[in-house]
Copies of this chain bind each other. A is one copy, B any other.
């Protein structure tokens, strides 16, 4: 049976969650671009303070660390530490034939808590709240991965 098809509701659920997370992840790059343009800084390469049409009045200050931009970079790095593992773990988990209800809880639970984590990080809520919203997503990845490992070892 081919499980990697949109006709498989568990896979379709995965695909919705995965694409939403990819769009979220890619969105961080664009948000970094927007903020670099807003503050006209937060650059990282020496050549970025060369005079160009987009940067008519360069200054060394543009290479200084900029918290407004760096916050998005930290969020982006947090995504990189999490989303690629989720994307692969979720794909493999589909092959364990979970119930649709369980798949929905796990996939959409990951999406929902990652989006809330983003809001908390973006608006600079406390470390405690951020950690609380980060935890479920990580536990979901661990749970799916363990289940897949057991299924793979059982064959």
Q: Could you say how many copies of this chain the assembly holds? A: 3
Provide the bound-state CA to CA distance between A58 and B43, in Å. 30
B76 touches A81 (CB 8 A): yes
Closest to A30 in B: B138
Question: CA A132 – CA B131 in complex, angstroms?
Answer: 36
On chain B, the residues within 8 Å of A55 by CB distance are 127-128
On chain A, the number of residues with a Cβ less than 8 Å from chain B's Cβ atoms is: 68
Whether the Cβ atoms of A45 and B124 lie closer than 8 Å is yes
A64 within 8 A of B: no
List 7 additional contacts besides A44-B74, A52-B127; criterion CB under 8 Å: A12-B152, A12-B153, A15-B92, A19-B152, A22-B85, A26-B142, A47-B127
Chain A residues within CB distance 8 Å of chain B:
1-7, 9, 12, 15-16, 18-20, 22-23, 25-26, 28-30, 33, 43-48, 50, 52-55, 67, 71, 74, 76, 80-85, 87-89, 91-92, 95, 121, 124-128, 131, 138, 141-142, 145-146, 148-149, 151-155
8 interchain residue pairs of minimum CB distance: A15-B152, A19-B149, A6-B155, A84-B84, A48-B127, A47-B124, A87-B88, A52-B128
